[in-house]
Amino acid sequence: MSEKAETASRGWASLSGALAKRLVLLGLGVVLIAGALVVLAVFYGWSQFAHSLPPLDPWHQEQPASEFTASDETPEFGFDDYLAREEKVFGELDDLIQGPWEGSEAGKLSRFNPDSVCRPGVYGGRNWNRSLLREAVRPKGGVLMVHGLSDSPYAFRGLSERFHREGYTVMVLRVPGHGTCPGALAQVEWEDWAAAVRVAARDLRKRLPDDAPMVVAGFSNGGALTVHYAVSAIEDDDLPVPDSLVLISPMIGITPLAEITRYHDWIAGVSGDERAHWSAVNAEIDPYKYASWPMNASVQAFKMTQQVEEGLARLERSGKMKEFPPVVTAISAIDATVKLSNLIAGLYGRITNSGSELIVFDVNRAAWMEGLIRDDYEKAFLPLLDDGSRAYDITLVSNRATGTESLMESRITASGRTDRELDLTWPRELFSLAHAALPFTQDDPLYGPNDGGDKVLPLGDLRLRGEAGVLRISDGQILRLRHNPFYPYMEERIVSWVGDR
């Protein structure tokens, strides 16, 4: 190559390199600008949403000061200590209600109004926001029950009474941040929940004969805590391993979008609007469940499910899933909070021992519902009915035939499929069960249907009609099913399953 051509070649290479660098820098600039625009759009949309929420009430901004935290857990701290701490917490709550919060409640329908029918303790024979211990004289076993997110021990009112009648010592735990005021849920961390479960489980085991089984039951987020505890007990010799698990609508895997809510502190700090810490601010008319929802609840729930996934994955890698206790789960095929496919992939698909069971309540396939029900969930679930490689059994409760409202039970085990007609029928107006409905009896004094009666507070059957966006209660409180018309069947299956272990 001539000197002139070589010089031209070097010049072209230098020009190409410089052009490439400029293109890279330009690309980075575009990415940064696009990212900044996305951040600004999120900030603007989030702050506008926060601004649209009602003003915060005192119970959104304050909470009892003495709530149990993970730092309080010691080997000597038992359930009696937990109850004593809880007594102090509820004393502080009463002081807030009767002191600085007095007069803040808007109207008669408020759980924070001492004169309201919504105040805790009016329904269910006791204040079901508080933990409960029912000891059997000669316990045949023990059951620890853990409620869900924003819920209270009231979620296990029916099942706890049944197990105690069967001769079990029953411990129903109020999870930290619950049962008092929504502001407490805005401050709690998942580690506090997990520590409380460990305290209760260790204590329950000590109250039982050595040969008596210990069962841990969880509803919704309590289901995630139950599985997390089982993993922890397998990995920690200082924790008693449950003999079996009972899960109802367990929160095993939720949308990763929940993680985005962890930026609520930044949004609130920049915007100066404390409502950015909340995704819902509603009237608190339910005595045993928060209606308002802090962003922190979603953040901690997501972290909790991540801990469960990581723990189960560790057991699978180490070959310790064979030590995982048998588990029975009751769940609705359609669940707006928990995807059945996530439950199967995250938990049941990892089970290696026999004895576990998955009870699924199908959608209503009555003739009048044809074409109205989305069927995307079926793609993840129905193929499993013909999969003989499963280590667990499946019970499907569904219509006897398409077009009928009578139900049948199909049990699919390693030895085949057995169908049994049930003396159950879909209520005419229901198209499915729902996440929050499963643990509540049809005659529940709060969440059961009104049936033309004179219920003062028919939360399970509110019949309010008018324009959208007017009421300070969510559409879910009016539309979402709150009781299980098939509860007796579910309860019997669970209690029988536990007794057979």
Which CATH superfamily includes the segment(s) 58-113+124-499? Alpha/Beta hydrolase fold, catalytic domain (3.40.50.1820)
Q: Determine the pLDDT at residue 5.
A: 55
Rounded (to 5) percent helix, strand, coil in the chain? 45, 15, 45
Q: Determine the pLDDT at residue 84.
A: 98
Residue 402's pLDDT band, with cuts at 50, 70 and 90, is confident
285-330 residue pLDDT tens: 999 999 999 999 999 999 999 999 999 999 999 999 999 999 999 9
pLDDT greater than 90 at residue 205? yes
Q: Determine the pLDDT at residue 131.
A: 98
User: Distance between CA atoms of 293 and 150, rounded to whole angstroms?
Assistant: 8
Residue 263's pLDDT band, with cuts at 50, 70 and 90, is low
User: Distance between CA atoms of 360 and 362, rounded to whole angstroms?
Assistant: 6
How much is the average pLDDT of 451-470?
70
> To the nearest whole number, what is the mean pLDDT of the chain?
87
pLDDT greater than 70 at residue 395? yes
Q: Determine the pLDDT at residue 34.
A: 67
Instruction: Burial-class residue 446 by CB neighbours within 10 Å (0-12, 13-18, 19+).
Output: buried
14-52 residue pLDDT tens: 656 666 677 777 777 676 776 666 556 655 566 676 778
Residue 254's pLDDT band, with cuts at 50, 70 and 90, is low
How much is the average pLDDT of 254-265?
63
Residue 377's pLDDT band, with cuts at 50, 70 and 90, is low
Residue 460's pLDDT band, with cuts at 50, 70 and 90, is confident
pLDDT above 90: percentage of residues in the chain: 60
Q: Determine the pLDDT at residue 206.
A: 97
Q: Give the residue, 124 or 458, on which the prediction is more confident.
A: 124
64-74 residue pLDDT tens: 999 999 999 99
pLDDT greater than 80 at residue 236? yes
pLDDT greater than 70 at residue 375? no
Q: Determine the pLDDT at residue 231.
A: 98
pLDDT greater than 60 at residue 208? yes
pLDDT greater than 60 at residue 462? yes
Taking the model in full, what pTM does it have?
0.90
- Crossing angle of helices 295-318 and 221-235, in 10° steps, is 40
How much is the average pLDDT of 224-229?
98
Q: Determine the pLDDT at residue 234.
A: 98
Radius of gyration in angstroms for the set of CA atoms belonging to the chain, rounded to a whole number: 26
Residue 341's pLDDT band, with cuts at 50, 70 and 90, is confident
DSSP 359-399: EEEPPP-BGGGTTTS--TTHHHHGGGGG-TT-SSEEEEEEE
User: CB–CB of 305/251 below 8 Å?
Assistant: yes
Q: Determine the pLDDT at residue 319.
A: 95
